[in-house]
Structure 1
Amino acid sequence: MSKYLLNKFLFTVDRDPELVESYRQDPRATVARWEEEYANRILNCVTGESSTWLRLEDAEREALATHDYVTLFEMGAHPFLTLTLFIGLFERDHPPMGFQTEYARRLAHMSLPYPDIAT
């Protein structure tokens, strides 16, 4: 599993309003598009610089494609990256602080120590 690539997805999608909306409306297609177009780009680098070997694993791809932030958290995705992206996706569907409360409720089964978030 590549926590780096998982966190890179969360980071890059969260910073692009078009990708956020695309991910909200059609997550499976957005994950596939992101993996094809963005996964091998070097962060904060001029275009043209890229690698060729980074791929999401099936379990990561499925958790992203189904908006399964609990599984992402359990896999070691960074909690701040996960929370900020999913607030952007679902906050409008909840009352004030409603999504954050739902996020905490769904992750209540987790106890310290949390999954390792080191990449």
Structure 2
Amino acid sequence: MSRYLLDKFLYTVDRDHELTERYRAEPEALVAWWEENIANSLLNCVVAEKTTWLRFTDEERTALITHDSVRLFELGAHPFLTLTLWIAMFERDFDEPLAMQLDYARKLADKTLPYPDITT
């Protein structure tokens, strides 16, 4: 399990409108593409600098593909990164102001901190 890789995925997809829309429309394809092309690049570094060993576990990949915010939280993904990406992808599906955020909070209501650790 890699909190780093989950958070890197959430961070990079949230900051690129095209990736956000691809993740919403075709999550399995986007997760596979991202893992193959982005996962091993170093953030904010030259393209030539890459690692070769970073991969999602099957559990992480499934949670990302199914947009399972609760499971991502349980796996250690930072809830603020998940929330901001979910707002970009799903807020438009709710009729009332803040309805998406309240739904997100309701789904995580039985979870307690400090697990997982959400320090930055």
Interval containing the TM-score (normalised by the shorter chain): over 0.9
Aligned-residue Cα RMSD (Å) equals: 1.3
- For the residues of structure 2 that align with 1:110 and 1:3, how far apart are their CA atoms? 17
Match of 1:54 in 2: 54
Shift of 1:74: 1.0
Shift of 1:118: 5.8
Match of 1:34 in 2: 34
Alpha-carbon displacement from aligned partner over 1:8-39 (angstroms, at most 9, x marks no partner)? 00010000100000000010110000000100
Structure 2: give runs of 5+ residues left out of the alignment: none
TM-score, scaled relative to structure 2: 0.94
**Where in structure 2 are the equivalents of 1:47-86 lying within 5 Å?**
47-86=47-86
Match of 2:112 in 1: 111
Question: Are the equivalent residues in 2 in contact too, given 1:3–1:76 (CA < 8 A)?
Answer: yes
Letter in 1 for 2:8: K
Letter in 1 for 2:70: V
Letter in 2 for 1:115: P
Letter in 1 for 2:39: A
Match of 1:9 in 2: 9
Structure 1: give runs of 5+ residues left out of the alignment: none
Q: How many residues align?
A: 119
**1:115–1:9 distance in 2 versus 1, CA, 3 Å:** same
Alpha-carbon displacement from aligned partner over 1:73-102 (angstroms, at most 9, x marks no partner)? 111100111110111110111121010000
1:21 maps onto 2:21 in alignment: yes
Moved over 6 A (4+): none
